[in-house]
Amino acid sequence: MSDITRHHTGQRMSQIVSYNGTVWLAGQVGNKGDSVADQTRTCLEKVETLLAEAGTDKTRILQCTIWLADMADFDEMNAVWDAWVPEGHAPARACGEARLAHPELKVELLITAAG
C-alpha cells in the first residue's frame, strides 16, 4: 500500500496531499482586494510552486475546479487561465459561482495532478 504524504499541514488542512501517484492541492486564492485577473495570476503562481514541490508541473494537471465569487468575472479569469495553460495540456475543468471565505476574494482554484 502506498503512503499518503502531506506537506504544509496545519490543524485544518494540508496544502499538498500525495497518494499513489496523484497530487491534490488545497484551494488556492489570490490577494484580497486585487482584481480578478491579478488574483487568478497569484493563484496560478501558487499552484506552480506547490506542484513543483510535489514533483510535478502544470502539464500534468488532471482536473481543475474554479470557484468565482461572481460569474460576471468568467471572461477576465479565463483570459489569464488561457494564457497560462500549455497548449495541448488543458485539464478537465469546471467553473462555478460560490461565496468564498472572505468577501474580497474573487477566485479560488482546486487542482488535482498526476505525480
Q: What is the pLDDT of residues 52-99, one digit of tens each?
A: 999 999 999 999 999 999 999 999 999 999 999 999 999 999 999 999
Average pLDDT of the chain?
Answer: 97
pLDDT at 1: 63
pLDDT at residue 58, as a whole number = 97
Cα(59)–Cα(37) distance, rounded to whole angstroms? 21
H or E element, residue 14: strand 14-19
Q: Which fold has domain 5-114?
A: 60s Ribosomal Protein L30; Chain: A; (3.30.1330)
The pTM of the full predicted model, rounded to 2 decimals, is: 0.93
| Alpha-carbon span 23 to 37, nearest angstrom | 25
Q: Where are the domains of the chain?
A: 5-114
Question: What is the per-residue pLDDT for 2?
Answer: 75
